[in-house]
Amino acid sequence: MPDVPRRPGFIPLPAYQEYPAAEMVARSREFAAELQRRRTVRQFSERPVPQEVIEACLEAAGTAPSGAHQQPWHFVVVTDPGTKRAIRVAAEAAEAEFYASAPADWLAALAPLGTDAQKPYLETAPYLIAVFAERYGRSPDGGRRTHYYVMESVGIATGFLLAALHHSGLVTLTHTPSPMGFLTEILARPANERPVMLVVAGYPASDAVVPDIRRKPLSQIATFR
C-alpha cells in the first residue's frame, strides 16, 4: 500500500476493527437485543454501586461526537444524601406546579406511565448524574469560546451514557424537571452551563415494576430509500 501523505494535526485512524459480514450482523443483533431489555425504572434499591462503574460509563459518554469537537458537556455525580435531598425537594416542588397546570392532553399522555409529582428515587438511588450543557467555553486567556450544536452533542453523549449504564448492569431513569435552574444553584455550576437532565442510576428495587408498554417496530421508526 502506498504511503498516504500526512496532514499536519492528523494521525492514521487508530484501533479500527473490521468484522466479517456475518459477525457484523450477529454483533448488531446482539446489541439491539441487549438494548431492547433496557427499561426506565422508578423503584431503585439503595445498594451501593462501585464508583469505578460510573466513572467508566462517563468515560464512554465522553467519547460521543460533538460540534467542532468542543465536547460541551459536564456531568456532576451526586452521592451525598443531603444534596440528593435538596434536589428531591426542589424537583418535587417544580413537578407539583407542573401537574397542577399542565394541559390535559399532556397529562393523558403521561397517565400510562404512572408518574406523579413524587420522586422518592432521587434520594433512594445511589447515583444522580446531573447533565449540564456548556453554552460556551473559555479560551486560555479567559475569553468566551463559541460552542456549536450544543444540545445535539449533549443529547448524543447522554445516549451513550444510558447505553453504557445499561450495559454495565444498572437501571436508569431520565428526569427533566421544568424549570430546573435549581440544579445550577444546588450544584454550584458556573454561568456558562445549563442543566439538561438528571440521570438516576442504580440497581432496581426487588419489587420494581414497569409500565406494560411496547416500543414501535422498525417499520414505524425507519425508512429505507
**Span 8-64, pLDDT tens digits:** 999 999 999 999 999 999 999 999 999 999 999 999 999 999 999 999 999 999 999
Residue 110 located in a structural domain: yes
Residue 13 located in a structural domain: no
Residue 2 located in a structural domain: no
Residue 12 located in a structural domain: no
Quote the pLDDT of residue 1: 45
Average model confidence (pLDDT) across the chain: 94
CATH of the domain at 185: 3.40.109.10
Nearest to 135 by CA among 152, 147, 143, 149: 147
**Model confidence pTM above 0.85:** yes
Measured CA distances, 100 to 97, 103, 104, 111, 181 (Å): 5, 9, 10, 14, 19
Distance CA(203)–CA(205), nearest Å, equals 7
Residue 182 located in a structural domain: yes
List the grid coordinates of 26: 450477529
Residue 34 located in a structural domain: no
The dihedral sign for the CA sequence 7, 137, 54, 42: negative
* Per-residue pLDDT tens over the stretch 74-119: 999 999 999 999 999 999 999 999 889 888 998 898 888 888 889 9
Which residues have C-beta within 8 Å of that of residue 42, sequence separation ≥ 6? 114, 115, 121, 173, 208
Average pLDDT over residues 125-154: 94
Q: Residue 188 has what DSSP assignment?
A: T
**Total structural domains in the chain?**
1
Residue 225 located in a structural domain: no
Tell me the residue range of the domain where 156 lies.
Answer: 42-208
Residue 7 located in a structural domain: no
